[in-house]
Amino acid sequence: MLKNLSLKKAGLLLNMSATAVLKYEKGNIIPTSQKLIQFANAYSVRVVDLLKTHKSPKMQFNAFRKKQRLKGQNLELLKDIIQNKVSDYLEVIELNEIKSDNINILKYLCNNSVDAESAATKFRSDYKLSINQPISNLIDVLENLGIIIIQIDDTEQKFSDFDGLSEIVNGIPVIVILRYDDGDRQRFTIAHELGHLVLDIRNTNLDTERMCNKFAGALLMPKDAVINEFGEARHSISFYELKAFKMEYKVSMAAIVSRLKELNIISEPLFRKINISFSSMGMKKREPDTIALEESYQFNRLVHKLEVDNIISLNKACELLGLSVDEYNTEDNNYRY
């Protein structure tokens, strides 16, 4: 499925019938070592990738956000990939003896957009984040709170209609997003998914996605900071001001303009005028001055720690990291003090 192969095309690669491929997939035929190598070569993967097993965690996928176009095999494949990655992460956490009892993510009652704004302010306050400064690295902040951040690679563009996932799995909060190519979108999506984890929305008539967007905007662009930068009311704004704020707070200019409108710093006509200008400049698809992506090092660091402490084998470490032994044994990875 990842290689966009039908059973017939897979059979041609493997020099066997489509029926035989299906029997191997279903486990009706057990492959020999030579057949395993043949499968691995045909699919451009390692034999260990075919042998790898997972203790699938029980996931609900209730807060799984996607567009309607994502369905069928691609949807099931994405869910399977997510479960496998979450399973690996939970195994590494368990081996490192990290207890979910020590992870306490606060919840904030949300009945309206004012509550969503207030929740973002309280979150910053509760976790000692300044309400007047940008969050320099959102992934670091959330991982330090015990939240798992997983980014899914989508080189084949199969999952572009996936927006994000947030869920408590085995007592541990999990956020899953695609691996984006721009940091501003990445950060906003993570902040949105955090909203799903921390907002206690009991009113079923409330637009949950809108509340999470409100929370994300308020978290990344605190009201006091925005007013301090732009003032309480503006009749005109320069492109440079928006660009400068983008680079400092690591959010898109589109999100900044929406936040200015939300806080009534700019009027509806000015909001529309700016957006029309953005569209004419092609900025709805791609903004200038790309924000660098935030990277998560926690999973890899925990795996290396387990291998160095001889809790897991070198082969197991390579399996978890998706590396060959040669790739793992580079100077950076293998140097010991």
68 against 267, higher pLDDT:
267
**Rounded Cα distance, 336 and 298, in Å:** 19
In the numeric block, which tokens belong to residue 157? 């563009």
For residues 275 and 242, is the Cβ–Cβ distance under 8 A? Answer: no
Question: Which range, 17-26, 70-79, 219-228, 317-326, is most confident?
Answer: 219-228
**167 beta partners:** 174
Instruction: Note the pLDDT tens digit of each residue in 75-109.
Output: 999 999 999 999 999 999 999 998 888 788 999 99
Helix, strand, coil percentages, rounded to 5, for the chain:
55, 10, 40
138 pLDDT band, cuts 50/70/90, is very high
Q: What is the pLDDT of residue 56?
A: 76
The rounded distance, in Å, linking the Cα atoms of 66 and 176 is 12
Q: What is the CATH number of domain 1-51?
A: 1.10.260.40
253-297 residue pLDDT tens: 999 999 999 999 999 999 999 999 999 999 988 898 999 999 999
Look up residue 210 and give its two tokens. Answer: 């809108």
Per-residue pLDDT at 180: 87
331 pLDDT more than 70: no
For residues 18-26, give the mean pLDDT.
Answer: 91
Q: Spell out the alpha helix ranges (H) of 149-267.
A: 183-198, 208-220, 223-230, 239-249, 253-262
Report how far residue 40's alpha carbon sits from residue 332's, in angstroms, rounded to the nearest whole number.
Answer: 28
| Whether pLDDT at 333 is above 70 | no
Q: Of the candidates 89, 128, 94, 106, which has an alpha carbon nearest to the alpha carbon of residue 320?
A: 89
Three-state secondary structure call for residue 163 = strand
**CA angle at residue 64 from 127 to 257, to 5 degrees?**
60
The CA distance from 183 to 225, in Å, is 20
The residue behind tokens 């956020």 is 175
Mean pLDDT across the chain: 92
